[in-house]
Amino acid sequence: MPQKTNEKPKAKSKPKTDAAPETTPAAPKNNLLPFAILAIIVIIVTCAKVSPQTPEESAKLFCRAGNHPVLATRLFTPELRTAWQDAETKDTAWAQKHPGEKPPFGDGIPLAGYPDAGSKCEPGKATATTVEIHHNFPDQPKGNWTDRLVLKHTDTGYWIDDIQFSHHGTLRHELKSAF
């Protein structure tokens, strides 16, 4: 008769194969942190008060804003900002009345004379009431153009009251004539 022992039986080992080991799918990574940081930066930048004290400073801030209306409109006079907001409201209403059609500002309200922003935005010649904005394409200089910011000086600084587009017209005219 065989003797009983307290030893546990050995587990059978699985045969070895050349197949790749089974893996469990990795849980999706949470990539929200970069977006949260970016959102915080945008909020800080957009909420910070600006007060351009010279025409050149207005132009530099406008160039830094790039083609981002939230940043650029902070440099507008209250009257131009109101005209901008009215145009946005009308554009939204128009889009709702004409579903499937492109609204007048379907590509955004223009901040420059041409839709293709140059890779370099540089302030140019400034006076007390205007400052040139050079939109440059270093690789394609024939595509360069110059718009002009029309400024209004107040106790709090130099504010953009209009933009004269190089090809024709002004921002105020675009805002009014689109509807």
pLDDT surpasses 60 at 89:
yes
Residue 131 domain flag: yes
- Residue 58 near residue 158, CB atoms below 8 Å: yes
pLDDT at res. 168: 85
pLDDT surpasses 70 at 45:
no
pLDDT at res. 67: 80
Tell me the residue range of the domain where 71 lies: 51-177
Residue 36 domain flag: no
Q: Mean pLDDT lowest for which of 1-5, 155-159, 167-171?
A: 1-5
How far, CA to CA in Å, does 56 sit from each of 12, 95, 133? 81, 37, 10
pLDDT level of residue 158 (50, 70, 90 thresholds): very high
CATH at residue 94 = 3.10.450
Residue 118 domain flag: yes
Label each residue of 35-60 as H, E or C: HHHHHHHHHHHHHCCCCCCCHHHHHH
pLDDT surpasses 70 at 46:
no
Considering its fold, how many domains does the chain have in total?
1
Pairing label, strands 130-136, 157-164: unpaired
Q: What is the pLDDT of residues 10-42, one digit of tens each?
A: 555 555 555 555 665 555 556 777 777 776 666
Residue 17 domain flag: no
Residue 140 domain flag: yes
Residue 171 domain flag: yes
pLDDT surpasses 80 at 1:
no
Residue 34 domain flag: no
pLDDT at res. 37: 74
pLDDT at res. 3: 59
pLDDT surpasses 90 at 58:
yes
Q: What is the pLDDT of residues 103-125, one digit of tens each?
A: 999 999 999 988 777 689 999 99
Residue 84 domain flag: yes
Could you give the CA distance from residue 130 to residue 134 in angstroms, rounded to a whole number? 13
